[in-house]
Amino acid sequence: MLESVQASAIRVRDLVVGFGRQTVLDDLSLDVRRGEILGLVGASGGGKSVLMRTIIGLVPRRAGTIEVMGQPIGSAHDRSAHGAAGTWGILFQQGALFSSLTVRQNVQFPLRENLVLSQDLMDEIAIAKLEMVGLRAEDADKYPSELSGGMTKRVALARALALDPPILFLDEPTSGLDPIAAGDFDALIKTLQKTLGLTVLMVTHDLASLTTVCDRVAALADGKIVAIGPMRELLQSEHPWVRAYFHGKRSQMLQPHMR
Ligand SMILES: Nc1ncnc2c1ncn2[C@@H]1O[C@H](COP(=O)(O)OP(=O)(O)OP(=O)(O)O)[C@@H](O)[C@H]1O
């Protein structure tokens, strides 16, 4: 396949990240291809969030290089959560909407922070983003406390998409949702990938998401990516942690056909 088709949206090489005497990421390399949804799995405390936070420049690194859309990412702390000029949007684990702001104001927050736009235009953009994630214009004046868990995630997603970023980081997007809401959210991510051409890096423990939404899955163990590929390849991996993760008792109970 042509190099340009396979070009990386995110390229990580020989990354080392640690805190004090603890090394969390140890010579880690990873490519996220443009336009793909890459799922990231790993043990609890294994460094998935640290990897994501390092890619967006929030955590300093000890060694290694990171490029996002061909641009080197510095090790500094000076990046906003929406990336330089909207390079990425982020959906953090808790959704984290501002409770004192309405849905509309939450979605407009990155616009206010990064651009100078008229209120009318910002209102138009907010409604367009809400509709994009399956919410109605009527929801715009609600406060976060008036939303269901699924709606909260959708508003957080609309906010992450406010600046039309080419890359989306999702940290356990379906955690806390019932299986139907989780399935709907997965379908939404897939639709956004197709319609907007988004590249998505998604930390998830949700086996259904890994199977149905992710083009490839990467497994993080011992501070490195120990396996990467389509789900069917991960299921064949001989790596002990990957085997334990996908073929352990709990996984088998949930997905008997995966054996
Ligand atoms: N700012 C920090 N200072 C010190 N140690 C940290 C910091 N951030 C993360 N760590 C440590 O790095 C390790 C990896 O944490 P991380 O949050 O990336 O795990 P994770 O794989 O995302 O886990 P989970 O699936 O439970 O969310 C943990 O041991 C954690 O205590």
Q: Is 24 in the pocket of ligand 1 (CB under 6 A)?
A: yes
pLDDT of the residue at 52: 94
**For residue 221, pLDDT beyond 90:** yes
Q: Mind listing the pLDDT tens digit for each residue in 157-210?
A: 999 999 999 999 999 999 888 889 899 999 999 999 999 999 999 999 899 999
What is the distance in A from the centroid of ligand 1 to the CA of 204?
Answer: 15
pLDDT of the residue at 81: 47
Rounded Cα gap, residues 183 and 187, in angstroms: 6
Q: Is 50 in the pocket of ligand 1 (CB under 6 A)?
A: yes
Tell me the three state secondary structure of residue 49.
Answer: helix
Rounded Cα gap, residues 209 and 183, in angstroms: 8
Cβ–Cβ contacts within 10 Å for residue 215, how many?
16
pLDDT band at 1 (very low <50, low <70, confident <90, very high): very low
**For residue 156, pLDDT beyond 90:** yes
Rounded Cα gap, residues 252 and 56, in angstroms: 35
Q: Is 72 in the pocket of ligand 1 (CB under 6 A)?
A: no
Return contacts of 175-181, CB within 8 angstroms, 24+ apart: 175/93, 175/204, 175/205, 175/206, 176/149, 177/149, 177/150, 177/153, 179/208, 181/148, 181/149, 181/150
How high does pLDDT run on average in the chain? 88
pLDDT of the residue at 93: 73
Q: Is 47 in the pocket of ligand 1 (CB under 6 A)?
A: yes
258 or 218: which leads in pLDDT: 218
Residues 6+ apart with CB under 8 A from 250: none
pLDDT of the residue at 94: 67
Which atom of ligand 1 is nearest the CA belonging to 20?
4
What are the E-state strand segments in 43-185?
63-68, 71-72, 88-91, 167-171
Q: Mind listing the pLDDT tens digit for each residue in 123-135?
A: 999 999 999 899 9
Q: Is 86 in the pocket of ligand 1 (CB under 6 A)?
A: no
**For residue 230, pLDDT beyond 60:** yes
Instruction: For residues 234-244, give the mean pLDDT.
Output: 94
Rounded Cα gap, residues 27 and 13, in angstroms: 8
The ipTM value here is: 0.97
**For residue 139, pLDDT beyond 80:** yes
Residue 235's nearest CA partner among 212, 201, 211, 253 is 211
Tell me the three state secondary structure of residue 179.
Answer: helix
pLDDT band at 79 (very low <50, low <70, confident <90, very high): very low
pLDDT of the residue at 7: 84
Query: In testing the pocket of ligand 1, which one of 44, 49, 62 has its CB within 8 Å of the most ligand atoms?
Result: 49
Q: Do the beta carbons of residue 215 and residue 230 sit within 8 Å?
A: yes
- State percent of the chain over pLDDT 70: 88
Instruction: For residues 146-162, give the mean pLDDT.
Output: 91
Q: Do the beta carbons of residue 165 and residue 193 sit within 8 Å?
A: no
pLDDT of the residue at 113: 84
Q: Mind listing the pLDDT tens digit for each residue in 23-75?
A: 999 999 999 999 999 999 999 899 999 999 999 888 999 999 999 998 888 76
170 or 86: which leads in pLDDT: 170
Rounded Cα gap, residues 28 and 36, in angstroms: 20
Q: Is 48 in the pocket of ligand 1 (CB under 6 A)?
A: yes
Q: Is 150 in the pocket of ligand 1 (CB under 6 A)?
A: no
**For residue 85, pLDDT beyond 70:** no
Residue 134's nearest CA partner among 203, 192, 206 is 192
Which atom of ligand 1 is nearest the CA belonging to 46?
21
Q: Do the beta carbons of residue 220 and residue 52 sit within 8 Å?
A: no
pLDDT band at 92 (very low <50, low <70, confident <90, very high): confident
